[in-house]
Every structure is written in structure tokens, then in C-alpha cells.
Structure 1
């Protein structure tokens, strides 16, 4: 087993007033040559956007983008004609492919919105752009690892253009289980949204991240009630 540990307080940080963002990997003005990516996982940003604030229309191409609201609601518009609001327990995906323009704004004029924005390198370049959004019942992930994004739509998950799997879990204090990787060439990045868990000999708390690879599975124990995001990705293209 090999592992990469990222404590919450070691993340890059940028506060623009309307946007307070923490970067697990190098992004924008934060550059750390030792934290460029974890396999095909390129960006994991923990963004808080103030009331009325947001990202104006901007382009993306050849990247798989996953957004997971943790608190509040985010308003989305794009060049494919999609216009929607994503809320807590929703997951949104965009395959940018040959190119897409989109904007993201806080749906509330007064309350902040907190969401995770995650970028994955694509499996195939220059595909037709596509969009997906789905609500996932939080009851389905209590003491269970619920896959919400995968390479296909089996099991009701959203699908992206990469052999990657996103899963969410709510583990109650004392619960123990194993995460089984789907491929020997994959790794899993475990991000603690809330709570405290033990993974691979490490004690992880809120917003800590641990990447594990060259292993078939990893044991997890909830020390406190915890919300966890698992991102399983190929380690090489």
C-alpha cells in the first residue's frame, strides 16, 4: 500500500471576499509541485460563495467536472442551454469535451453556498459536451458506500468520461467497513466532509484527505458520525 496524506490546514487558500476557496491540489494562484494531482484526479476545491456572488460565464474543455453542494444552492447556466439549481444531496456532472461555456452563482442573495468542485482528466478527448444532474437520497448512504458517479449509468449513478467512481457515505460512530477498489491500477482518494475516521493507520478529521493506491482495499472505521467522499480513479492514463 502507498498513501498520500493531505491535512485540511495544508490546503491552498484564496479568499476573494465573495469566494473563500480551499484547494487540495494546485489551482489558480496556488502552486505546489508535490500536489498537482492524484492519478486522474486533478482538482478538489472546497468553495464557499457569499450571497449573490458567483462565477461569471467562463470556458472549459477536455475535463470532467463534478460539483457536490454541501450547504445552500448553486444556480447553473451553460452554452448547451441547461439552466438549473443544484442543492444539497444533488450531484452535477459536466463533460466539457470539445468546449463548454457556463456560469455558477449562489442561488441566494443572502445565504452562502458551500460546494465541492472536482475535476477529473477525461478518458477520451474532444467528445461532445454533456450535462447531468441528479438527487441522491441521503438515507441510502447511512452505513453504506453509495456510488453517485461512475463510467456508466448502471445502478442509477451519473456517468462521466473516465473510469472513475465517486461515492458518498454517512457512517455512524463505531461503524467499520472496507472500501474495495475496482481495479488494481486504481487508487482511491478519501475526503472527510465531516466527522472523524481511521483509515490505513491514519486518523482523519474534517476536510482531511488521504489517497491510497497499490492496494486492493482499505479498512475504514468511524470514530465519530462522519460524512465521507470516495473518489476512485485510474492512477495512470
Structure 2
């Protein structure tokens, strides 16, 4: 891998042309006007760079005390930019030892990053596996509790079914007893009626016998 140091200067802000009247047909000269010198623009650019400000035509003009044509300032800025490019020349090549050391450092960092990533992935996998196992155990416990509860429900249902059968049987017995009681009541009423008739007949007979005995006694005594 071949690396080159890039010591090219920070490009100056492209020239901005303002104050152009589109209704005028006369051609403007691209040559610097007299008054504002290249050294003046160069000093203003150095001052702007020292202060960390953007180098623009307006900034240079303000640094010059709001004097000078923007066209002249723009031409001097182009000259300075071209001069800097010629002075700096082609980029210098990084020594092979430094390149090799950088490659080794990058490889080592990449390897370490992969190891850390694999360790993180393994830790996440183990944590996830632990959560899955815990969830499975909890599910098994819940399933066992549900089965136990279901068995209890089945037992209760069986007991309820048996009680229902017994209740139906008891209702049938009660109905039979009620029917038998009604029948016995009718029989009892009939017997009481017959008993009353026999009692009345006996009383009538006894009264008749008593009268006959009394009459016989009277005849004998006379």
C-alpha cells in the first residue's frame, strides 16, 4: 500500500463577482487595476489566515480598509493561488518504513477489533442462551402447574357429575315417595270412611239390641 502525504494548501474561496450590472455591455478587464498591489492582497490574506477567517474577496477588501476593486482583488488572489501551487510542487512520498508501520498498526487494530467483536457476540450469545434456558424452565414449571390444576379441575368435574347423578336419583326417589304418599293418603281416607260406616252400623246395631233387651225386661217384669 502506497501512501502520500498531501501538503496542498487549503483552497481559497472561489472569487465572487458582485455589483455587475447586466444591462451594461462593456467588457471588464481581467488585469489588476493600479492602486491595490499584489503585496497588499498578500498581506491581507496572511492576516485573515492568522485570524482563522475565510479568505474571500469581500474579506480581503475589508482587511484593506474597504478599498480596492473586487475584480483587482480577485485577480491578485488567483495569482497568489497559482504561486502557492508552483512553490509546493508534487506531494512528498511517505517512507516505506512508516508505511509498513502504519499497515501493521492498521492490521493489529483490525485484528483486535475483530477479537473484541467476536467476544461481544459470544457474550451476547451466552446471555441470550441463558435467558432462553431460564424461559424454558419457567415455561416447564408453568406447564406442570397447569397440568396439576387441570387434573384438579377434572376431579372436580367428575365429582360434580356424580353429584348430578345422585341428585337425579334422589329426585326420582322423592317423586316416587310423593306418589306413594298420595296413594297411601287415598287408601287411608278410604279406610277411615269404611271405619266410620262400620262404627255407625255397630252403634245402630247396639242401639237396636239395647232397645230389644229393655223391651224384653219390661215384658218379664209385668
The bucket for the TM-score relative to the shorter chain is under 0.3
TM-score (norm 1): 0.16
**Greater C-alpha Rg:** 2
TM-score (norm 2): 0.17
User: Greater helix percent: which structure?
Assistant: 2
User: Greater strand percent: which structure?
Assistant: 1
